[in-house]
Amino acid sequence: MRAGGLLATGVTVTAAASGPARASSSAAALPLLTWHAALANRRYAPAVVAVLGSSSSEGVGASGYGRGYVSVLAENLRAAFPVAGAPGGANYVAAWGTPHWWPVTGGGTRVNTAGWGLKAVDLAGPEESLTYTFTGTSVQVWHDGSPEIVVDGGTVVVRGPGRIHGFATFDGDEEKGIQVFNGGHGGRTSGDFADRPAAWAPRLRSIRPHLVILQLGINDWRSGVSAAEMKRNLMTIIATVRANTTTDPSFVIYGTPRVGADHRIQDHSRFTGAWREIAAEDTGGPGGASGVAYFDLAARQLSPSSDNGHGLYCEDLVHMTDRGAAFTADALASFLTP
């Protein structure tokens, strides 16, 4: 173990969905230039995706681990752009999560204001521990303090005292291939991330993303935050990412369809407009043009609040089923393909 943060321990151990024009169209490709260039270099260095989002990114609604859209997107990208010897690991699993199937077991005090994805667990002492079982060639434990860390084959056990952010695992993709770091957290709004940059932004220096997906804003809409405030928050998040990494990443604003059954909620079209405006008005990309692409999921499917006949959403009409998560991951993989 290396004191102060990371443990790196060796362990012996697609057809694209149909829809509107892909990001490879001339109007949308340039904002994704950094991502496309990193993808082209994946045989020699990792092409890295970072996701900040709410419950859909975390995987709420899916029936099990690995079935949320972020996990399936990683699978899709690796299948479409394989690298010999680098099948790819889970890359990041937070110390706790909302879904009942979360793959980290054990106990401690859950923290909502620290760590990548604004999630961590405080372990008071050796009587409190976390256990994570993984498949791969190495594991990193992201933490503060001086916890005891024991790796036995594909199982890592962490005992306090310390604050545990989560586990990053790799399967041949330490130095090449495609890495995806999921920072999804159920219930989070754009303001949660915009207001707490010190909690998550420093991790960008080690993640070094080439693409940042922002699946944020739908909880703002549902909770009464204005579209204008949501727009300011997302622009703050983009500026924070740029200030905390040297990779000059591409960004994707993920536009969520109108979800839920309560039609008293504020006008969803204002949020769609604000998401589009962020992409159109950004000047931090290649040659002073936009470095932000807009992914409009609503243009590829019906709103579940009006028609869920294809079973893409759960009974709450908010969270995606396994099918819906896979549908979204297919659409995103198509959108991100050069």
Residue 182 domain-assigned (yes or no)? yes
Whether residue 67 sits in one domain with residue 132: no
In a domain, 5, yes or no: no
Examine the domain organization and report whether 234 and 114 are in the same domain: no
Asked if the structure places residue 22 within a domain, the reply is no
Amino acid occupying residue 299 = A
CATH at residue 67 = 3.40.50.1110
State how far the Cα of 82 lies from the Cα of 172, in Å rounded to an integer.
12
Instruction: Dump the DSSP string for 113-156.
Output: SSSTTS-EEEE-STT-EEEEE--SSEEEEEEES--EEEEETTEE
Please check whether residues 66 and 196 belong to one and the same domain: yes
Q: Is residue 10 part of a domain?
A: no
Evaluate whether residue 152 is within a structural domain: yes
**Same-domain status, 116 and 242:** no
The residue ranges of the chain whose pLDDT is under 70 are 1-28
Whether residues 260 and 323 fall in one domain: yes
- State whether 205 and 71 are in the same domain: yes
The total of other beta-carbon atoms located within 10 Å of residue 273's CB is 12
42 and 189 in a single domain? The answer is yes
SS3 (DSSP) at 110: strand
CB 94 within 8 A of CB 115: yes
Q: Which domain holds residue 221?
A: 32-88+176-336
Inside any domain, residue 207 = yes
In three-state secondary structure terms, 73 is helix
- Residue 243 CB neighbour total at 10 angstroms: 10
Reported residue count of the chain is: 338
pLDDT of residue 28: 64
Residue whose token pair is 């690298």: 83
Same domain, 317 and 188: yes
- pLDDT tens per residue across span 302-337: 999 899 999 999 999 999 999 999 999 999 999 999
Q: For residue 115, what are its two tokens?
A: 């760590």
Beta bridge partners of 149: 158
DSSP symbol at 17: P
- Examine the domain organization and report whether 202 and 250 are in the same domain: yes
Q: What is the pLDDT of residue 191?
A: 98
Domain boundary among 155, 171, 187: 171
Residue 302: CA count within 13 A, CB half-sphere: 10
Supply angle C-alpha 38, 322, 318, rounded to 5.
95
Q: Is residue 264 a part of any domain in this protein? A: yes
Residue 132 pLDDT: 98
pLDDT tens digit string along 215-259? 999 999 999 999 999 999 999 999 999 999 999 999 999 999 999
Among 142, 171, 200, the domain boundary falls at 171
Residues 165 and 64 in one domain: no
Using the 3D structure, point to which of 113, 142, 171 is the last residue of a domain: 171
* Residue 53 near residue 178, CB atoms below 8 Å: no
- Are residues 147 and 50 located together in one domain of the fold? no
Q: Which residues pair with 294 in a beta bridge?
A: 253
Indicate the pTM of the whole model. Answer: 0.91
Amino acid identity at 296:
D
* Statement to judge: residues 208 and 292 lie in one domain: yes
How many domains is the chain partitioned into structurally?
A: 2
Q: Is residue 268 part of a domain?
A: yes
Burial of 10 (0-12, 13-18, 19+ CB in 10 A): exposed
